[in-house]
A = this chain, B = another copy of it.
């Protein structure tokens, strides 16, 4: 067991290595500086987790983290290896800092920076009599984030293990029973995750019973679980900032034939999707592998969303596994595989795992059984 100082040193080395990879983008594209505005990306690159921040990355390594006065102490503790600038308007302040040396070819995140935000960057430089040539780096940091390092995979493994344990406890204690409301079940599950060490829930837990289970992203309400219902539970825990994501669908009482049929169909689809997770596979092919049996069974329109998504510091991140996705899987990407079939007014099934893509096949992080459980 490493002592705390080693852990801190490791964390600093990791964030420094990530900034070095982004610095390579600056050098390759001949940028004078890059300003990172996406808070999650700032956190990934620095370790700082405050709610207002931006990061300046420069070819010479003179990186600067900006945040406001609420976070002075926290920034020094979380990012002791970085120069800290205290300023409320973080990204404009960093742009002004960089523009002191004259006109600036500035990399920025065009998918994050708003129309007003870019105008603020430009006026911060103009106030110094300097000009900015904005150059989009697109989702360069999100692309870096899509490949997880060992510490990230361990955090995701623990986040998934907490979710597994919480669901097992809920089922063992009879928490999924007729006469409870969706909301009660959701709170029970949430509180189990927190007791088991989750920092927070990954997103608002979905508990959908009966006809509600046909709504892919149903918010739990006062609907009461009843015998004969599908009960779909989609939930996750965060651990060390990383999100788990898992869905299981149960039946209360003996499953009807139509319930068995669509459950088996979705389970088959989900297995084929998992088996298609190979290094080098095109994301559209992974989606197709899982979608084909559902389409062939005549339920194509009832599978109304993509197959899955990357998961990490955010619940939805690159890569997207869908018919509209682009690119190929790489080793150490962490993705969900979550086909579903939804029959409006009757019910629906989704089965979802979180897995690590690897050269020896996928590493399953969510270990709860996918056999149909009748409660």
Contacts and interface: CB of A to CB of B under 8 A. Distances in A.
Contacts of A114: 110-115
Interface stretch (A12-20, A68-76, A268-276, A280-288): A68-76
A375 interface: no
A359 interface: no
Interface in A295-309: 304-305
Interface residues of A, number: 39
A216 to B, nearest CB: 4
B304 A72 contact: yes
A88 B118 contact: no
A343 to B, nearest CB: 11
A17 to B, nearest CB: 24
Nearest to A89: B324
A47 to B, nearest CB: 12
A53 to B, nearest CB: 12
A315 to B, nearest CB: 10
Contact of A73 (B190, B324, B344): B344
Contacts of A218: 74
A194 interface: yes
A217 interface: yes
Given A88-B324, A187-B194, 4 more contacts: A69-B304, A71-B215, A73-B344, A74-B215
B187 A217 contact: no
Nearest to A88: B324
A305 B69 contact: yes
Interface in A95-112: 110-112
Nearest to A204: B200
